[in-house]
Amino acid sequence: MSNIYLEATTILGYKKDGVAVIGGDGQVTFGNSVLKGNAKKVRTLYNGKVLSGFAGSTADAFILFDMFEKHLQNRKGDLLKAVVDFAKEWRKDKYLRRLEAMMIVLNTKHIYILSGNGDVVEPEDGKLAAIGSGGNFALAAARALDKFANMSPDDLVKESLKIAGELCIYTNTNITLLSLKD
């Protein structure tokens, strides 16, 4: 049952041409029940200069968002240095490293996937990252739309998450989007 929280969300991050967008669905699932349909799983950090999204339990999200924000403050907004420091701390903490959680953090220059195992992954294409149960659906849709459709970054993320919500039972189509521009 502990994996249920990772199965209960979809987060998609996208950056292109000086624009960064993150979106998440609103469904909170526990077992085979939907507890809430309008949760906010994405947020801005560092005075609105960094976007973040979380797949995991809500209480863990607040702890990890706050912890990451402190690293951003200490590193004066340097996203790469902050993610490395954060990953080290997350992995070293006995309690936190056991969390089955993942985060996406991005700005207009960088995008990373983070985990409690100490993973700091920059996507191969440098522009798309997805986590959660519907992450692969959203990622596939986003790659296709990025390649074949002429859409704004906001629309691309929204439509990709809608597709994931139509396919993944742990994801809905109540989408929250946040964006940044250079």
Which residues carry out catalysis?
9
Q: Let me know: does 40 contact 21? Beta carbons within 8 Å.
A: no
Residue 80: its H or E element: helix 79-92
CA distance 29 to 4: 7
Residues found in the chain: 182
CA dist., res. 115 & res. 96, Å (int)? 10
Q: What is the 3-state secondary structure (H, E, C) of 107-166?
A: CCCCEEEEECCCCEECCCCCCEEEEECCHHHHHHHHHHHHHHCCCCHHHHHHHHHHHHHH
Tally of CB atoms within 10 A around 164: 31
